[in-house]
């Protein structure tokens, strides 16, 4: 009998016809970075976010974080506060600049920054006579962090706030899109994100002048159009036209994509409704509107035979992919000598959590297989 089709965690989902957008790029002969299609993509992102803030399309979310930190004035030796429970790209650009990440624990309700430990970290930095040069707050799995509270802390202490909204395009807090609370917001459009440009990202800037600087730095900081003169050490970070064309086609049904992700989250809620030891990570109240980029579950019981490792292996046997949460950054070999403020919440979440298939391309047949697998595992 043929093996059943593999159900992946989150495959790139390209259901809209990008042909016309791609043809436009070819016809304009603007296949390299920048150009009219990239501008169109930036304008449509701005429209989707309903913001006047400038959006700069780049070739990755990591590049956007790097530029955000640089424009925030982060320098070698500075402290930058950063969520420990995140993908490594949230912290690496701090290290690119020679700055020092100070890691902060998660709260249990959103898995994002716990403000209590943000305060502790700020106090500690001040005692070292070094006010943090920036704070990177992540909206993990598309669930907004307690962004109002975090933004207030940043305002009180005059610390630039950078929102890592790589996973949170379309998520909102009190009806305001994630990425628009801080001095800078970043988005990612890599293969597993809610829209994908192949590889790509965007930087959202509160200050239009900073957006200009970002564009300049992203194009090797060329100071003259004709010659090879450069007024800073720049980067090759601008988004190419083909990538923007892909993004433009998917922006056309972004609202439906978010709806699909939210339906999947609801599906998992129903699947686990009667399974006491499982908690489905859910936005804490109506102020939070999550795109539920990935649905995450957590094993809350002490049943040693039912745990994330065994469940993952059981699903894998059935051709269903599930993924562990990120190992907290302060426990990674590359960062384990850095300061950390918290109470091991992120460690518990890492050891007890599991991400379940959440691709927009999942069909009814896939969901039936997932549901059967869940029932079989938890009834055994």
Ligand X SMILES: Cc1ncc(COP(=O)(O)O)c(C=O)c1O
Binding site for ligand X (CB under 6 A): 60-62, 86-87, 89-90, 138, 164, 166-167, 188, 190, 201
Is the Cβ of residue 65 or residue 374 nearer to ligand X in the bound state?
A: 65
Residue 45: C-alpha distances to residues 21, 25, 52, 91, 190 (Å): 15, 18, 11, 25, 16
Between CA 185 and CA 180 the distance in angstroms is: 6
Joined tokens for residue 274: 């009667």
Is the Cβ of residue 121 or residue 138 nearer to ligand X in the bound state?
A: 138
Between CA 110 and CA 147 the distance in angstroms is: 11
Tell the smallest beta-carbon distance from residue 41 to ligand X (Å).
15
* E strands present in the chain: 54-58, 79-83, 100-104, 134-138, 161-164, 172-173, 176-177, 184-188, 201-205, 278-280, 288-289, 295-299, 323-324, 340-341, 353-356
Tell the smallest beta-carbon distance from residue 88 to ligand X (Å).
8
Tell the smallest beta-carbon distance from residue 325 to ligand X (Å).
12
Is the Cβ of residue 54 or residue 164 nearer to ligand X in the bound state?
A: 164
Per DSSP bridges, beta strands 353-356 and 79-83 are unpaired
Joined tokens for residue 240: 């190419």
Tell the smallest beta-carbon distance from residue 326 to ligand X (Å).
9
Tell the smallest beta-carbon distance from residue 119 to ligand X (Å).
23
Q: Which residue is nearest to ligand X (CB)?
A: 61
Between CA 242 and CA 197 the distance in angstroms is: 8
Is the Cβ of residue 64 or residue 278 nearer to ligand X in the bound state?
A: 64
Is the Cβ of residue 94 or residue 374 nearer to ligand X in the bound state?
A: 94
């Amino acid at each position: 009998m043929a093996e059943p089709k593999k159900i992946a965690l989150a495959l790139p989902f390209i259901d809209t016809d990008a042909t016309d957008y791609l043809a436009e790029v070819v016809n304009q002969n603007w296949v390299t970075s920048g150009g009219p299609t990239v501008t169109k993509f930036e304008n449509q992102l701005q429209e989707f976010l309903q913001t006047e803030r400038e959006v700069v399309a780049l070739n990755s979310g990591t590049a956007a974080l790097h530029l955000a930190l640089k424009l925030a004035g982060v320098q070698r030796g500075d402290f930058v506060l950063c969520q420990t429970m995140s993908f490594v790209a949230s912290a690496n650009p701090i290290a690119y600049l020679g700055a020092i990440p100070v890691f902060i624990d998660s709260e249990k309700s959103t898995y994002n920054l716990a403000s209590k430990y943000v305060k502790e970290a700020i106090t500690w930095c001040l005692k070292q006579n070094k006010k943090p040069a920036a704070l990177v707050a992540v909206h993990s799995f598309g669930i907004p962090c307690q962004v109002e509270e975090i933004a207030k802390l940043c305002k009180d202490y005059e610390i630039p706030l950078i929102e890592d909204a790589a996973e949170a395009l379309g998520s909102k807090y009190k009806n305001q899109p994630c990425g628009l609370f801080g001095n800078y917001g970043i988005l990612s459009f890599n293969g597993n994100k809610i829209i994908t440009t192949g590889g790509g990202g965007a930087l959202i800037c509160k200050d239009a002048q900073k957006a200009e600087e970002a564009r300049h730095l992203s194009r090797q900081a060329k100071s003259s159009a004709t010659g090879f003169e450069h007024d800073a050490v720049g980067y090759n970070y601008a988004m190419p036209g083909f990538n923007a064309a892909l993004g433009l086609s998917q922006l056309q049904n972004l609202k439906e994509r978010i709806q699909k992700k939210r339906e999947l989250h609801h599906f998992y809620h129903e699947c686990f409704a009667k399974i006491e030891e499982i908690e489905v990570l859910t936005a804490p109240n109506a102020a939070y509107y999550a795109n539920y980029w990935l649905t995450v579950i957590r094993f809350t019981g002490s049943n040693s035979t039912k745990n994330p490792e065994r469940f993952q292996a059981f699903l894998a046997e059935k051709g269903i992919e599930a993924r562990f949460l990120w190992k907290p950054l302060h426990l990674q070999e590359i960062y384990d000598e850095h300061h950390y403020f918290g109470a091991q919440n992120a460690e518990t979440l890492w050891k007890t959590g599991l991400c379940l298939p959440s691709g927009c391309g999942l069909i009814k047949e896939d969901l039936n297989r997932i549901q059967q697998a869940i029932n079989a595992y938890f009834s055994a």
